[in-house]
Every structure is written in structure tokens, then in C-alpha cells.
Structure 1
Amino acid sequence: MRVKPSRPVAQALLVAGDVAVFLLFSVWGRASHGLSLGALEVLKTAFPFLAAWLVVGAALKAFRLEAFRTASGTVKRVTGIWLVAGVAGLVFRALLVGHAIIPSFAVVTLITVWVLMVVWRLVFWALVLRPVRR
């Protein structure tokens, strides 16, 4: 099934899905470590990565629908943007919590969020952006 929302609605859905990716990552990570899943704690965990994604993404056009014309192009763009935003998020988090970046955490974070974001963006592309074949 394919939907064709208006441009503002599509962009809002795109950003909402991106936010959901970071919240899911935060919940998943906190749950796997037996940490509280309270809303504030989940938001605190997601915040540095979400903030980096929104800032870097805005600069690198992650929220422009026309930048994601193909499935392979979507994967490539998300990968490049996430590499920059992910590193920025790790640095931001280290500054916020006051300790160095833990290499194993960095690897898990970069890979997990990348997979979640690519899956989300491909679903969005397939349902909203993919050209209709006639």
C-alpha cells in the first residue's frame, strides 16, 4: 500500500519517525541494562543523539524529501549523515555526562542507530516517496 500525504505532512511524518528511532534506541539500550524506562530518563539518553541528528541532518538536508529519490540513494545519504551526526552525538554525550567516549558503546550506538534509521527511512521511502510504476 502506498500513501501520498501532502508535502508538509510527509515532512512531519519523516521527522516524527526519526525521533521515534532515537526514542526506540534509548528504550532498548536502557532496558538491556536494567535502567529506568521513565520518560525523562529515556529522553535524557536520546537527547544528545537526537539533537546531533536534527542539527547535522538540517545542515546536510536529511529532511528534504527530494534528497531521497531511490532506495539505494536513501541508504547512502542516511549512512553519510549518520556518520557525522553519530560522532557528534557521541561527543555531545561525553560532554554532558562528563566522561570519555567508551569505544564499545560508540560501536554499538553507531551500528544500532544506523540500522534502525535505514530501516525506518526505507519504509518511509517505499510508502511515501517511491515513484509509482505504471
Structure 2
Amino acid sequence: MAVKDKNTVTTSAIEGSKPRNQKEARRLWTLIIGDVLVFLIFSVIGRQSHGEDSGLSAAFKVVWTALPFAISWFLIAPFMGAFRRELMTEPRQIARKTGFAWLAAWPLGVILHFVFEQHLPDLVSVITFGLVTLITNTVFLFVWRIPFAMTNHTKDTQAQVAPRKR
């Protein structure tokens, strides 16, 4: 739904995320798959740091550990604008939106983690696990999403400077 305000047109975060062409669709799917991989990597590292299984034989456990964070991310981040088309080529904007979106999604991810694990944690566990999750996933999302936007920006800039040969 478009909203007109003083000669500018803005769209909802979800509408602004819908791809308009094949290149945008490919970028959106690449971003989604990369985000899923971020949560899986976080899960593998976390499980290894706690001496838990994390190899191929433990694939289900790795996915189960990552799932609460991925669910919270994909429920909240789209509404926070973290998948908007214009972010795909703007490193600063993607970093800003990613940070705010993860900050909003993070509490739900931590709550869902303890629900999935059927574990009632003490306050110290919630705080330490919560802070580690907040910081680590913020870094991982930045390490993935900022270079993604930089690469797309470079590709678009090069395409404008040197049009394709036929």
C-alpha cells in the first residue's frame, strides 16, 4: 500500500521487498538463503562451543538449534524493512536496517530457543545467552549482508558504466 506524503511515495516494508524483476528476485532469494546460513553457522559454532554434536550426523540438532532464531528473524525482519529492494545495493542502509531488525527479532529468538529446548533458564543464563546471541548474530548478519550489498552495488555501477555487449 503506497502512502503519499509531500510529493514522496513510500511503500510498506513488505511491498518494498517484493521483487519487480528477475534480478531483484535472485537477490532477494540469495539474501534469504544467506540469512538462513548465518543462523545455521551460529548454531554449529554454539553447539561446538558447548561440546555438543554439530557435524553432519547432528544435522537435525543443528537445524533445531537455529530454528528459533531464524523464525524470529523471518517473522520480524521483513516488517522492519530488512529485505527492501533498495537495501540490496546500499551497504550503510542494509547495516542499519539489519541491526534494528535483529535487535527487534532477538528477544523472540531467545524466548523461542528456551521453549524449543524445553528448558526454564535462570536469570544469569538468559542474560549471558541473550547477550552472546545478540552480539554474535549481529556480527554474523553484518559480515554476510554488508558485503552482499557492496557486491551488488559494484555490479550495478559497473553495468551502468559499461553496458553489456550483445
What's the TM-score, normalizing by structure 2?
0.72
Residues 91 and 147, structure 2, Cα contact 8 Å, conserved in 1: no
What's the TM-score, normalizing by structure 1?
0.87
Residues of 2 paired with 1:68 and 1:55: CA distance? 19
Structure 1 vs Structure 2: percent identity of aligned residues? 32
Unaligned runs of 5+ in 1: none
Report the more deviating stretch, 41-50 or 65-74.
65-74
What RMSD, in angstroms, separates the aligned Cα atoms of the two structures? 1.8
Residues of 2 paired with 1:127 and 1:53: CA distance? 23
Q: CA deviation at 1:61?
A: 2.4
Q: Tell me what 1:42 maps to.
A: 62
Q: Tell me what 2:140 maps to.
A: 116
Residues of 1 paired with 2:134 and 2:34: CA distance? 18
SS at match of 1:6: helix
Q: CA deviation at 1:36?
A: 0.9
Report the more deviating stretch, 26-35 or 66-75.
66-75
Residues 65 and 129, structure 1, Cα contact 8 Å, conserved in 2: no
Max radius of gyration: which structure? 2
Unaligned runs of 5+ in 2: 1-21, 162-166
Residues of 1 paired with 2:157 and 2:74: CA distance? 29
Q: Please list, as runs of the form range in 1=range in 2, the aligned pairs for 1:85-100 lying within 5 A after superposition.
A: 85-96=105-116, 97-100=118-121
Query: Which protein has the bigger strand share?
Result: 2
Residues of 2 paired with 1:41 and 1:129: CA distance? 37
Residues of 1 paired with 2:91 and 2:104: CA distance? 20
Aligned pair count reads 130
Residues of 1 paired with 2:152 and 2:38: CA distance? 18
Q: Tell me what 1:56 maps to.
A: 76
SS at match of 1:62: coil
Residues of 2 paired with 1:66 and 1:79: CA distance? 16
Higher relative contact order (CA 8 A, sep 6+): 1
Q: Which amino acid aligns with 1:114?
A: T
Q: CA deviation at 1:6?
A: 1.1
